[in-house]
């Protein structure tokens, strides 16, 4: 009974954290889980995967069939951006790659270049509306890593974030912090094939 009670409590915290993320009251999983635990007066914290699964359920419940048309539109928009940046080895990652996009999701694209301003200039040359851009730095395994982030506002109202990383990161495997698998993403030709054959395909571990 105790194990079942603990499992149910984890699910409740995961659901509450997912609601906080879905309604944009929180943006990061860690803060959403901590706040959800406080609301439910517990120290139990679910995994990011448990929160993601609840988030996916909430999106299905609230958005229904419109979620499929949203994903299709965002994948086509990603294809246009990646085609404009084909010289910079673009790769679609995030929820639009995974097939779990929902309202308020954005399009996440990784590119690789020693000169991020070239990528920025190429987007502007192709008439994409750049909202802003900035450098981000994180420390992983004691090493500082920097990347250049470009935020785009699309005619549909959707937003895209293009991350420019140095060429030494090209081809390096990354582990997904949510699903625990390899964050492969989709290259331009792979995305084109998906849109042609299985436009709503999901890329999540089963």
**Complete domains list, the chain, with CATH:** 2-63 (no CATH), 66-197 (3.30.460.10)
For all residues of the chain together, what is the average pLDDT?
93
For 8-66, how does the pLDDT look when each residue is reduced to its tens digit (9 = 90+)?
Answer: 999 999 999 999 999 999 999 999 999 999 999 999 999 999 999 999 999 999 999 99
For 149-181, how does the pLDDT look when each residue is reduced to its tens digit (9 = 90+)?
Answer: 999 999 999 999 999 999 988 988 889 988 989
Which among 84, 89, 166, 173 has a CA at the least distance from the CA of 130?
A: 84
DSSP percent split of the chain into helix, strand, coil, nearest 5: 50, 20, 30
Instruction: Write the CB contacts of 183 (distance below 8 Å, at least 6 apart in sequence).
Output: 93, 174, 175, 176
- Tell me the whole-structure pTM to 2 decimals: 0.89
């Amino acid at each position: 009974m105790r194990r079942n009670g603990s499992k149910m409590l984890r699910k409740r915290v995961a659901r509450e954290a997912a609601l906080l993320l879905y309604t944009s009251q929180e943006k990061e999983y860690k803060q959403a889980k901590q706040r959800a635990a406080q609301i439910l007066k517990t120290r139990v914290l679910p995994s990011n995967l448990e929160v993601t699964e609840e988030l996916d359920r909430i999106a299905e419940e609230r958005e229904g069939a419109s979620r499929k048309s949203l994903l299709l539109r965002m994948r086509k928009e990603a294809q246009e951006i990646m085609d404009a940046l084909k010289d910079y080895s673009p790769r679609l990652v995030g929820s639009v790659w995974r097939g779990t996009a929902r309202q308020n999701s954005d399009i996440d694209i990784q590119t690789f270049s020693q000169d991020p301003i070239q990528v920025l200039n190429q987007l502007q040359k192709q008439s994409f509306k750049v909202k802003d851009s900035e450098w981000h730095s994180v420390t992983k395994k004691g090493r500082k890593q920097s990347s250049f982030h470009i935020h785009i506002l699309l005619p549909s109202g959707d937003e895209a974030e293009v991350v420019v990383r140095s060429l030494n990161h090209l081809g390096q495997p990354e582990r997904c912090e949510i699903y625990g698998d390899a964050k492969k993403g989709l290259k331009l030709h792979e995305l084109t094939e998906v849109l042609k054959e299985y436009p709503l395909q999901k890329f999540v571990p089963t």
